Chains A and B, each alone.
Chain A
Amino acid sequence: MIAYIIRRLGYAIPILIGVNIITFGLFFLVNTPDDMARMQLGVKRVTPEAIASWKQERGYDKPLLFNAAASGLDKVSNTIFFEKSLRMFVFDFGRADDGRDIAREIRMRMGPSLAVAVPAFLVGLFVYITFALAFAFFRATYIDFWGVVICVAAMSISSMFYIIGGQYLIAKLWHLVPISGYSGGTDALRFVLLPAAIGVIAGFGGSTRLYRAFFLEEISKDYVRTARAKGLSETVVLFRHVLKNAMIPILTGVVVAIPFLFIGGLITESFFGIPGLGSYTIDAINSQDFAVVRSMVFIGSLLYIAGLLLTDISYTLVDPRVRLS
């Protein structure tokens, strides 16, 4: 098991290097630091001196890949690529434009992000599976038919409408929870409730319909017929056999959803004013803080790779045929 995990982590390293090279190319080769400086300073204040000092403040004044002026190891290490890209592997992200340490900021903002995303994710999974199983149980009846109709309609609505509608109805009209904001401790519950609930509702249509299709595919298989022939009740068949086997495609899909959890987090956090990683990224994009966006790309791919590893491990829990080898 441990050997397997270590080997999988080994696979992750070339991918992370690839991500690093892509971001390096995007941020330093496609547009040089000079272009970024001009953009940040605005058209009027651009002078060669201003650009030079802007670059020096951020450490962008070094050569890109190879420093011919330096000696020894510094030839390679005293460059933008080493300072800005390779240092990310030890979680040294440098400073944002407002002078704060990005790594510290990320650590601080992780809590609020997780406080919203994790409950929404877990409750959502439970709700979708429950409804999908119910639709599969009542398949080819009116319950199933209207369930699917509602799912298709629900997945046609942009998540932003769920957020705006929920904020308006529950927070503004009924005053049940605050419209936006966040605070630590037990008080956080009041602020987390609405965004998490909206996250669950926004994903309902698509996921429930998908899981229903997984269940129906399993139900049409031979082992289910055998189980029924043995005289098992439909409930036992569904929970004991179908649910277990359908968990494999569901788990695969959940991993695909993890990056999407991130994008969902972006707009939810920004609408609800939650000081998490999502709103941090949006603020960075809006203020064109390249250092932060670069760091978030790195963190995002790190999370994705961790998610892939977790899925593979979770397969063994639901499917004894899968061996980690």
Chain B
Amino acid sequence: MPFQAVILWTDWLIYLLVAVIAVTIVYVRGREHLLAPWRRVGHSASGMVGLTVLMLFVIVGLLDSLHYRPRIAGNAASAKVVYASEVKSALDAVLEPLRSRREKTYSAPLATELFAKEMIEHADGSQSRDYPRLKFGGTQLKEPATDRAASIARAVIGGAATGVVVWLFLALFIAAAVAQSARTHIHLAWSALWRGETPAPWRAVLLTMLAVFLAGGAAVALAVNYHVLGTDKVGQDVLYLTLKSIRTALVIGTLTTLVMLPFALALGIAAGYFGGWVDDAIQYLYTTLNSIPGVLLIAAAVLMMQVYIDTHPDLFPTAAQRADLRLLFLCIILGVTSWTGLCRLLRGEALKLKELEYIQAAHAFGVRHHRIISRHILPNVMHIVLISVVMEFSGLVLAEAVLSYVGVGVDPSMNSFGTMINNARLEMAREPMVWWSLAAAFVFMVTLVLAANLFADAVRDAFDPRVRTSARSLKRLPPLAKAGVA
């Protein structure tokens, strides 16, 4: 084996999440009443654009969740196989050139020289104070001052053109699929697609993909010779750091809700269904937890966790495992502070549902409590769970940044948007300003959160019965599909 697989705690949970989603998809596909709201999501242009962008982030995050320890090339004589102590991920393997090309310190995006002046020794022994050339950025250029612009333009045009070609194939494939499902000719489907007449908003999705492929193609072409987003204080490529941060954001946004969901479901439904002292006890519990300001509870808990990690170093063999456990703990404690809202909603809904006739009838037939809860109540509160899970995601991603700034977020050695912003804050004071790592974190974070918000809105509109029946959403229904494609 050229490598040894390493599965961190959060990796396990991510695989579990992926499995849950896959099972849900299979389950929903065969049931029309469950499929209908999802179809409404699929018909919302903004929702599908958001989903498209989210999927790109998810792909990066999943690649970054396949961890392994590469084998160290030892002498062939020794039979013992040795693996590196450093844990890498599949994303690291893909981005190996970005990861390994380290400069000395800051350099601006697409620069050929370092950001700060240094003493340079020339071949003839003389010394001068100037900006030294980068070790990896733009090394192919003989005369950076004159050739750089042309070289960058060539790379951008070439990369973008490649992106467009790939995108055209993708668009043709989608048109073919649309034609297949509508049983028409492909050129009819193609023109319907671009007039925005397909039932699913393929035009919006394809335009989003076009933007991604243009930017992505240009970035890949540039990354061959340059640091696209510059380098940070220790000379690491900022693009690499940003891509690595995506996993942290996704883990915080998804695992937190995964961790809190069992508690919120069990306690919320129990409080509403059983009433009486159970209700009182659970209400007291969540009012108490709610009354502690979230950030302070998190700070207190994370400080305690830090004390525990520091006093028990033998439990955490590698730095990656330590950082990973802290991330998981952060998810758990964020979950503890954020389950109360969902719990209250579920309690109210269970309270309402248990008075309905079909549940009264089930009682009369002598159906047991756990059967009533699992067969009658649980399926009828799932839309609330789904809405709050997707609505919560973007808030959690934003919260991670704040917590990491406060110093109670992820481990300082772990890449995240919060640590990037935190480091960038000190760089802002430099003259001239080091703006690129802040800008990179800003762009990626806003894109992620915006996409999540758009998708969450589409999900809420499709699943919330209150929104569905109001006159506003009637107006928003897509125009009836025209002949030819429908």
Contact = CB atoms under 8 A, between A and B. Distances in A.
Interface of A: 14-15, 18-19, 22-23, 26-27, 30-31, 35-36, 38-39, 140, 152-153, 155-161, 164, 168, 216-217, 220, 259, 262-263, 266-267, 270-271, 281-282, 285-286, 288, 290, 293-294, 296-297, 300-301, 303-305
**At the interface, is chain A mostly helix, strand, loop or mixed?**
helix
Given A38-B311, A160-B405, A220-B472, A266 B300 contact: no
A141 B68 CA distance: 54
A31 B304 contact: yes
**At the interface, is chain B mostly helix, strand, loop or mixed?**
helix
B75 interface: no
Nearest to A163: B425
B300 A293 contact: yes
8 contacts: A18-B288, A153-B450, A158-B401, A158-B417, A161-B442, A263-B295, A290-B303, A293-B296
Contact of B304 (A14, A26, A152, A168): A26
A160 B284 contact: no
Contacts of A285: 299, 303, 406-408
A220 B299 CA distance: 43
A19 B405 CA distance: 26
Contact of B475 (A140, A217, A281): A140
Contacts of A293: 296, 299-300, 303
Given A19-B291, A160-B401, 12 more contacts: A26-B304, A38-B310, A156-B450, A158-B398, A159-B402, A164-B428, A164-B438, A288-B303, A290-B303, A293-B299, A303-B293, A305-B291
A26 B433 CA distance: 42
Contact of A304 (B290, B425, B446, B453): B290
A201 B311 CA distance: 43
Contact of B288 (A15, A30, A152, A281): A15
B248 to A, nearest CB: 14
A156 B449 contact: yes
Contacts of A156: 394, 446, 449-450, 453
B38 to A, nearest CB: 22
B288 A19 contact: yes
Given A26-B304, A168-B428, A216 B299 contact: no
B327 to A, nearest CB: 18
Interface of B: 284-285, 287-297, 299-301, 303-304, 306-308, 310-311, 394, 398, 401-402, 405-408, 417, 421, 424-425, 428, 433, 438, 442, 445-446, 449-450, 453-454, 457, 470-472, 475
Contacts of B304: 26-27, 30-31
A26 B301 contact: yes
A155 B453 contact: yes
A300 B292 contact: yes
A23 B284 contact: no
B310 A39 contact: yes
A294 to B, nearest CB: 7
B406 A266 contact: yes
A31 B472 CA distance: 54
B458 to A, nearest CB: 12
Contacts of B292: 19, 22-23, 297, 300-301, 304
A141 to B, nearest CB: 13
Given A36-B307, A293-B300, A286 B450 contact: no
A304 B311 CA distance: 34
Contacts of A266: 295, 402, 406
A158 B402 contact: yes
B467 to A, nearest CB: 9
Given A35-B311, A157-B446, A160-B421, A297 B394 contact: no
Nearest to B404: A160
Contacts of B303: 285, 288, 290, 293
A308 B288 CA distance: 12
Contact of B407 (A282, A304, A305): A282
A282 B296 contact: no
A293 B293 CA distance: 12
A216 B288 contact: no
Nearest to A18: B288
A165 B442 CA distance: 11
B293 A301 contact: yes
Contacts of A39: 306-307, 310-311
Contacts of A281: 296, 299
